[in-house]
């Protein structure tokens, strides 16, 4: 039920193409994919880095979670995603710990993965995403 890897660190940006170009110029790499994720109101680019990834996120509109984040706080780190082998078991474990989940059921995330968000109140004001990936 526990996380076994940092799947990605997500950074919210205004202009995805510009951010991808800049990230590649500064740090290298190539995006694995760029995908519109309707359920999260974002377009995301996933850049592999070692066994993990950097996820660049741009909002589909101002009235989306990432759109509101950008207007309130500006660009920056939005969430950290932990890889779990069994997302249903991980959610059940967290609920059992009395944790408030944003998603009590997994939803469709980028790259065909099942994902669920844990409320920032659960740990250090940090938005944590669970991503189901075979261990
Ligand atoms: Co993410």
Give the mean pLDDT of the chain.
96
Compute the average pLDDT of residues 73-79.
98
Catalytic hit among 7, 23, 40, 44: 44
Give residue-wise pLDDT tens across range 8-56.
999 999 999 999 999 999 999 899 999 999 888 999 999 999 999 999 9
Over the stretch 91-103, which tens digit does the pLDDT of each residue have?
999 999 999 999 9
| Percentage of the residues of the chain whose pLDDT score is greater than 90 | 93
pLDDT at residue 110 in the model = 87
| Ion ligand 1, residue ranges at CB < 5 A | 10, 55, 81, 129
Residue 8 falls in the annotated catalytic set? yes
pLDDT at 111: 87
pLDDT of residue 29: 86
Q: Are 54 and 47 in contact (CB under 8 A)?
A: yes
pLDDT for res 88: 98
């Amino acid at each position: 039920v526990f996380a076994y890897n940092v799947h990605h660190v997500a950074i919210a940006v205004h202009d995805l193409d510009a951010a991808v170009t800049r990230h590649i110029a500064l740090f290298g790499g190539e995006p694995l994919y760029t995908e519109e994720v309707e359920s999260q109101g974002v377009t995301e680019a996933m850049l592999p880095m070692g066994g993990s990834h950097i996820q660049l996120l741009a909002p589909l509109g101002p009235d989306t979670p990432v759109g509101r984040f950008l207007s309130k706080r500006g660009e920056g780190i939005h969430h950290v995603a932990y890889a779990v082998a069994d997302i249903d078991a991980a959610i059940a474990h967290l609920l059992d710990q009395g944790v408030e989940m944003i998603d009590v059921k997994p939803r469709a995330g980028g790259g065909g993965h099942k994902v669920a968000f844990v409320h920032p109140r659960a740990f250090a004001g940090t938005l944590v995403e669970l991503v189901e990936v075979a261990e």
